[in-house]
Every structure is written in C-alpha cells, then in structure tokens.
C-alpha cells in the first residue's frame, strides 16, 4: 500500500467483523512496528496480547470511570482530561453520566486487544523536572503504537490507540501483573474493521504551522 494513502486513511476503528486476527498475522504486524524510533533507541515497549474474555471484561470495567469523566466534561463544553483547566464538573455529575458504549465495547468485541506498556527504567524523560505534565516519555512509545496501526492498515486490519483505562493504572497493573517500573501507554483493540474510512477530519496545515515563532504567519 502507498505510504501517503496509508497515512491519510489510518483511522480509529472501534467496530470489527468476526474475522480473526491470528497470532501469526499479529506477529507480522509487530515485526513491522518494531522499526519505530525511540529515545536513544532504547525500545522500551512491551506488548501484552489479550484474548481472554475475563481480562477484556476487566479492561472494559477499568475504562468506565475515565470514560464517564470524559463524556461529562465534553457535555459541559470542556476539553476532557486536560491538565491546564481544572474540571468544572463535580464528582456526582461524573458518577451519573452514562459512558458512551463506543468507548468501552471495542475491548470486548475486537478479536485481540494489545496492552502497550513502557519500561520506565529505559526511557529517557527529559521533561521530568518541568512543572507540567510529562510528554517526552510517551514520545518513545507512541511512534511504535502508531506503526502497529499503519502495519495493520497495510494488511486490512485496524484499531484504536485508547488511554482511558490508564486512569486506573494501579488496577491495570494488578490485573496484568505489571512490575512497578512499567507504565501502560495504550490499550489497543485490533481487528478487521467493519468499514474503512477514507476522509479523516483534520485541520489544515495553515491552522497549526507558523513561521519562526508562536503566532507567526501561517505556513501556507
């Protein structure tokens, strides 16, 4: 498949056909994804391949609290889970919010779910002393996660990078037996998508690229 085409059409699939995604096909996808870059080429990713139904049900349950807050904030006109503006919805409102099933069901229904972890013992986190949420550690893992989706796309499969369950990371760690120095970067349902999107909604370059400094003229 043409690279430009793959980049333009690799969407977030949340609905899957009954087709299996066998271990051999998954290993082939991961065999491409492993060429992703990482800080110092440390390759701190680890992948847990989940097919067990009880584990998926636990993953779905762990997704729910963060999904409720996400929807409650969204309904309130906020950017959910951002670290700059404190949430303006209270705990009671979050508690009675119905989480969208499309945020929860994919881990139950996809033929396979990958839990993509990062070994914090090997990842360089150069923003660790800054007074803001860390972003650099993730940068050593998400190119790998994205490569999984690109390799899946080339083979007719698809999935979604999801992160809501990570809000419950201590319980996730218990569920999966993760050591304390390992963090969860994403939970990724993968399978054969029911439909293939071809026109993804994205802002044009002129809206996010500016010349020389913040607020500079847009790159046309």
Measured from the CB of residue 90, what is the shortest distance to ligand FMN in angstroms?
A: 22
Q: Identify whether the C-beta of residue 97 lies closer than 8 Å to the C-beta of residue 64.
A: no
Q: Which is nearer to ligand FMN, 60 or 89 (CB)?
A: 60
| Of 120, 134, 127, 141, the residue nearest 183 (C-alpha) | 120
Backbone dihedral region for residue 81 (phi beyond 0: left; psi -120 to 50: alpha; all else: beta)? left
Q: Which is nearer to ligand FMN, 96 or 201 (CB)?
A: 201
Burial 153-184 (b: 16+ CB within 10 A, else e): bbeebbbbbbbbbbbbeeebbebbebeeebbb
C-beta neighbour count of 143 within 10 angstroms: 15
Q: Which is nearer to ligand FMN, 136 or 161 (CB)?
A: 161
Query: Alpha carbon of 70 to those of 61, 93, 142, 152, 180: distances in Å?
Result: 15, 12, 21, 27, 27
Cα–Cα distance between 177 and 165 in angstroms, integer?
15
Site of interaction with ligand FMN (CB under 6 A): 11-12, 103, 160-164, 200-201
Q: Which is nearer to ligand FMN, 129 or 199 (CB)?
A: 199
Q: Which is nearer to ligand FMN, 111 or 159 (CB)?
A: 159
Cα–Cα distance between 93 and 54 in angstroms, integer?
29
Measured from the CB of residue 189, what is the shortest distance to ligand FMN in angstroms?
A: 9
Measured from the CB of residue 202, what is the shortest distance to ligand FMN in angstroms?
A: 7
Measured from the CB of residue 169, what is the shortest distance to ligand FMN in angstroms?
A: 13
Q: Which is nearer to ligand FMN, 201 or 213 (CB)?
A: 201
Q: What are phi and psi of 126, to 5 degrees?
A: -70, -5
Measured from the CB of residue 212, what is the shortest distance to ligand FMN in angstroms?
A: 28
Measured from the CB of residue 215, what is the shortest distance to ligand FMN in angstroms?
A: 26
């Amino acid at each position: 498949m043409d690279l430009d085409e793959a980049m333009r059409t690799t969407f977030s699939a949340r609905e899957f056909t009954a087709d299996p995604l066998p271990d051999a096909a998954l290993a082939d996808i991961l065999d491409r994804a492993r060429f992703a870059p990482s800080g110092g080429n440390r390759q701190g990713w680890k992948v847990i391949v989940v097919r067990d139904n009880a584990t998926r049900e636990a993953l779905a349950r762990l997704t729910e609290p963060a999904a409720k807050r996400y929807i409650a904030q969204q309904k309130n006109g906020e950017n959910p889970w951002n670290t700059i503006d404190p949430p303006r919805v209270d705990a009671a409102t979050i508690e009675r919010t119905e989480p969208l099933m499309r945020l929860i069901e994919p881990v139950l229904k996809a033929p396979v779910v990958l839990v993509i972890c990062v070994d914090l013992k090997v990842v360089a986190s150069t923003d660790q002393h800054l007074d803001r949420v860390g972003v650099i550690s993730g940068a050593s893992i998400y190119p790998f996660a994205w490569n999984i989706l690109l390799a899946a796309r080339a083979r007719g499969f698809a999935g979604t990078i999801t992160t809501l369950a990570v809000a419950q990371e201590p319980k996730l760690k218990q569920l999966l037996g993760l050591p304390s120095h390992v963090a969860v970067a994403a939970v990724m349902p993968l399978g054969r998508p029911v439909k293939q999107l071809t026109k993804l909604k994205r802002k044009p370059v002129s809206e996010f690229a500016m010349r020389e400094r913040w607020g500079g003229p847009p790159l046309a």
